[in-house]
Structure 1
Amino acid sequence: MKVAIVHDWLTTWAGAEKALAELLACYPQAEVFTTVNFLPSDEIPCLKGRTIHTSFIQKLPGARKHYRRYLPLMPLAVEQFDLKGFDLILSSSHAVAKGVISDPSAVHICYCYSPMRYAWDMQHQYLRQSGNARGPVSWLMRWQLHRLRQWDYLSAQRVDHFIAISHYIKQRIGTFYRREAEVIYPPVDVDKFRHDRPRESFYLTASRMVPYKRIDLVIEAFNQMPERRLIVIGDGPDYAKLKALAGPNVTLLGYQPDDVLTDYLERSQAFVFMAEEDFGILPVEAQAAGAPVIGYGVGGLAETIQNHVSGLWVEEQTSAALTKCVQQFEAHKREDEAAFSPEVCKQTAQQFATSNFTQALQALVRKHVTALANDMPPCKPD
């Protein structure tokens, strides 16, 4: 069986790319198609020696640093991939990958991280944050986003079967694409974390520093609790603004490698997370490291955190609500030392283990590709 895996772009190694790695583990013979690839393939085992096809955007001026500026061209770019002869198309998509044109005899299954937020429900926030809420450029961008929405909806009808990364995203797929989806949670390497290390008194948050992650709310809340210590790990466009906002009890460490982040997760009293996420890998990793999560109980986090068991849901996306929730967390711990135990947190995280992802994916593909089932190789999870 000939398999093609289509990914939006390869520029950073983040959550979507970790899922891509597991897709490639299941289908080691697959060829990869992507709009641009600027990752050092020799340093990434799952990409080393693999056939990777890129689009014409790869060679456009400034594409390495400013590939997102070519978003209006990306629908055209992915439609130029020649997928004739492939039996199975797996698109790994949060933007345009699902829009490929496949052979009519092929089965196209899309693993969807989310319909494009900046084109749909976050359009107005996107325009404000880019400084284009008004004026001629604003209307040009609105027109481009309007056309992108049209293409996004129409291209979603080319997909044979959707897989959503959470029930939250399943609902979004139904709302914007009018399509049904099955849910398979993304793979998380929960086994690399220890949950039995001594806990320390500090709280931890970590994220790319962009507005929707709402690190500002976390810092504001801890500014109002000067007796509590907060560690912030991450970098991004908002770093300088957030550093200026931080009080003396808040320490920003900037970007840190995985081993440093893992060390802090394994020692933290709790992990704090206020973004409205589609799934949220970091909160799951925190639980795998034995740390309960205090986070905004909307979106994917409401599916990954057991309220009052492996963490607490914050009811509103405000610093005041977070402050109240931290106080409730500590009161709960004083009343019951066994509350939010590392063992329970680890157990909660286990349901998102990589092996569960690969087994569920293989079973779903076999269900939808019955005519090719006998030709499928066995899945080989890491």
Structure 2
Amino acid sequence: MTVSVSGLKVAVVHEWLEHYAGSERVVGELLRIFPHAEVFAVVDFLPESERAFLGGRKVTTTFIQKLPFARKHFRNYLNLMPVAVEQLDLAGFDLVFSSHHAVAKGIITGPDQLHISYVHSPMRYAWDMQTSYLRQSGLEHGLKGFFVRWMLHRIRNWDVRSAAGVDAFVANSAYIARRIRKVYRRHATVIHPPVDVHRFLPAQDSPDRHAYLVAARQVPYKRVDLVAEAFRQMPGRKLIIAGDGPEHDRIAAIAADAPNIILRGKVPDAELLTMMQQARAFVFAAEEDFGITLVEAQACGTPVIAFGRGGAKDIVREEGCPEGVSGVLFGQQTAASIIDAVSRFETIRDQVTAENCRNNALRFSREAFQGHIEELVDRLLDENNAEAI
């Protein structure tokens, strides 16, 4: 960094610590950049086997940690979380990062503290996904449904008000930057989350890439069913489906009369890596905020065929891109649209080289993330110092 942070006290505020997943990867990388940072969270129920990224740090939590049944049902205390996160004592910290997808950005900081909020997504179930959330939870009607609507209304008001306490927003994709603009009316710098591209490498030999691959948890929004239906209608093209979940039986029924579709269930990480390295293309039909698995596939030198909404638009380089083609996007979540995308991919397959895919993935490396964060902090500290003179 051109501006020294060695003398600064840094805090990282995370939503809640339950499992090590995508947002926790961001926290882990921030802790690598700022090795003396302290960690705060609404609750911390992370198992010992997943705590390595914290580097032995003790996590400061809120009063929700000690409420009845919080270990398994802390989300039921959502209406208390705005109050809880505001009680975290961050006095004395010079630089505060909030890792936000629900309430973390609502921390209270002073005029001489720099608050940067890395937003994985504004609270979806309180904003544009409220109707879907209520429907899926069976809360469209009745007294309980009315209470949840009232609670989410209050949270929306607080969510907008607390955005004023953020000095700089960072979005994990251009899609999330647009959502931040829509909800908070604030600009956000796009810094993609870090991906361990050095673990996902192309195969050392030249695999016979004859099978397409979809690997995802089989839940409704992942739309694995659409991929299965599309390949059921393309009997000449082989598809491997990895993963499990509540949609498994439905997907299995679609594939039952399609010998070209192979269901593998949940596979170990090492086996999934091999499958990615050998796939003709990685197919992805979900609308994700970012989509780390797309980058992992690209890092393996594998082309991607993805739904052209959300983070996929940041990741996949289409035909005509001067840096090289890395895949194909399709415009609708339908089997017909996927079939068309596969057909288009086959016509340009020679242009979608493993080298193009690998080079594209390097844009999302941990080193790239670190460089972008350091550059942002340098700039903001420079601006703050200039204002203080």
Deviations, residues 339-375 of structure 1 (Å, cap 9, x unaligned): 21111111111111111110110111121123899xx
The answer to whether the Cα contact below 8 Å between 2:307 and 2:332 also exists between their aligned partners in 1 is yes
Deviations, residues 163-188 of structure 1 (Å, cap 9, x unaligned): 11112211111110011111111111
Aligned partner of 1:380 in structure 2 is none
Aligned partner of 2:361 in structure 1 is 349
Matched, 1:299 2:306: no
Alignment of 1:55-204 (within 5 A): 55-196=62-203, 197=205, 198-204=207-213
SS at match of 2:221: helix
Matched, 1:326 2:357: no
Change (3 A) 1:369 1:118: same
Matched, 1:264 2:275: yes
User: Structure 2: which amino acid aligns with 1:210?
Assistant: V
Change (3 A) 1:13 1:326: same
Moved over 6 A (4+): none
What is the aligned counterpart of 2:242 among 209, 233, 239?
233
Q: For 2:71 and 2:278, locate their aligned partners in 1 and report how far apart those are by CA, in whole Å.
A: 37
Q: Shift of the alpha carbon at 1:244? A: 4.1
Aligned partner of 1:23 in structure 2 is 30
Q: For 1:289 and 1:352, locate their aligned partners in 2 and report how far apart those are by CA, in whole Å.
A: 13
Q: Which moved more, 1:134-143 or 1:304-313?
A: 134-143
The answer to whether the Cα contact below 8 Å between 2:38 and 2:57 also exists between their aligned partners in 1 is yes
What is the aligned counterpart of 2:371 among 326, 351, 359?
359
Q: Which moved more, 1:263-272 or 1:59-68?
A: 59-68
Change (3 A) 1:178 1:283: same
The answer to whether the Cα contact below 8 Å between 1:41 and 1:47 also exists between their aligned partners in 2 is no
Change (3 A) 1:105 1:240: farther
Aligned partner of 1:369 in structure 2 is 381
Q: Shift of the alpha carbon at 1:237? A: 4.0
User: Structure 2: which amino acid aligns with 1:298?
Assistant: R
Q: For 1:204 and 1:277, locate their aligned partners in 2 and report how far apart those are by CA, in whole Å.
A: 18
The answer to whether the Cα contact below 8 Å between 1:90 and 1:111 also exists between their aligned partners in 2 is yes
SS at match of 1:190: coil
- Report the count of equivalent residues: 369
Change (3 A) 1:202 1:33: same
Q: TM-score, normalised by structure 2?
A: 0.89
Q: Which moved more, 1:206-215 or 1:300-309?
A: 206-215
Aligned partner of 1:377 in structure 2 is none
Q: Where do 5+ consecutive residues of structure 1 fail to align?
A: 374-382
The answer to whether the Cα contact below 8 Å between 2:120 and 2:176 also exists between their aligned partners in 1 is yes
Aligned partner of 1:376 in structure 2 is none
The answer to whether the Cα contact below 8 Å between 1:78 and 1:96 also exists between their aligned partners in 2 is yes
The answer to whether the Cα contact below 8 Å between 1:42 and 1:48 also exists between their aligned partners in 2 is no
Q: For 1:254 and 1:136, locate their aligned partners in 2 and report how far apart those are by CA, in whole Å.
A: 40
Q: Which moved more, 1:265-274 or 1:44-53?
A: 44-53
User: Structure 2: which amino acid aligns with 1:284?
Assistant: V
Matched, 1:216 2:228: no
Change (3 A) 1:254 1:143: farther
Q: Which moved more, 1:247-256 or 1:108-117?
A: 247-256
What is the aligned counterpart of 1:314 among 319, 322, 330?
330
SS at match of 1:163: strand
User: Structure 1: which amino acid aligns with 2:377?
Assistant: V
Q: For 1:45 and 1:354, locate their aligned partners in 2 and report how far apart those are by CA, in whole Å.
A: 17
Q: Which moved more, 1:99-108 or 1:110-119?
A: 99-108
Q: Shift of the alpha carbon at 1:328? A: 2.4
User: Structure 1: which amino acid aligns with 2:335?
Assistant: S
Q: Shift of the alpha carbon at 1:312? A: 0.6
The answer to whether the Cα contact below 8 Å between 2:173 and 2:191 also exists between their aligned partners in 1 is yes
Deviations, residues 59-85 of structure 1 (Å, cap 9, x unaligned): 333333333222222212211211111
The answer to whether the Cα contact below 8 Å between 1:199 and 1:266 also exists between their aligned partners in 2 is no
The answer to whether the Cα contact below 8 Å between 2:19 and 2:47 also exists between their aligned partners in 1 is no
Q: Where do 5+ consecutive residues of structure 2 fail to align?
A: 1-7, 320-324
Q: For 1:118 and 1:276, locate their aligned partners in 2 and report how far apart those are by CA, in whole Å.
A: 15
Q: Shift of the alpha carbon at 1:284? A: 0.9
Q: Shift of the alpha carbon at 1:57? A: 2.1
User: Structure 1: which amino acid aligns with 2:214?
Assistant: T
Q: Shift of the alpha carbon at 1:220? A: 2.1
What percentage of residue pairs aligned between the two structures are identical? 51
Aligned partner of 2:291 in structure 1 is 280
Q: TM-score, normalised by structure 1?
A: 0.90
Q: Shift of the alpha carbon at 1:191? A: 1.8
Change (3 A) 1:36 1:208: farther
Aligned alpha-carbon RMSD (Å): 2.0
Q: For 1:239 and 1:91, locate their aligned partners in 2 and report how far apart those are by CA, in whole Å.
A: 36
Change (3 A) 1:26 1:318: same
User: Structure 1: which amino acid aligns with 2:370?
Assistant: T
Q: For 1:205 and 1:60, locate their aligned partners in 2 and report how far apart those are by CA, in whole Å.
A: 41
Change (3 A) 1:148 1:211: farther
Q: Shift of the alpha carbon at 1:223? A: 2.5
Deviations, residues 208-249 of structure 1 (Å, cap 9, x unaligned): 333222222222222222333322233444344444444344
User: Structure 1: which amino acid aligns with 2:369?
Assistant: F
Q: For 1:76 and 1:110, locate their aligned partners in 2 and report how far apart those are by CA, in whole Å.
A: 18
Change (3 A) 1:36 1:231: farther
Q: For 2:11 and 2:19, locate their aligned partners in 1 and report how far apart those are by CA, in whole Å.
A: 21
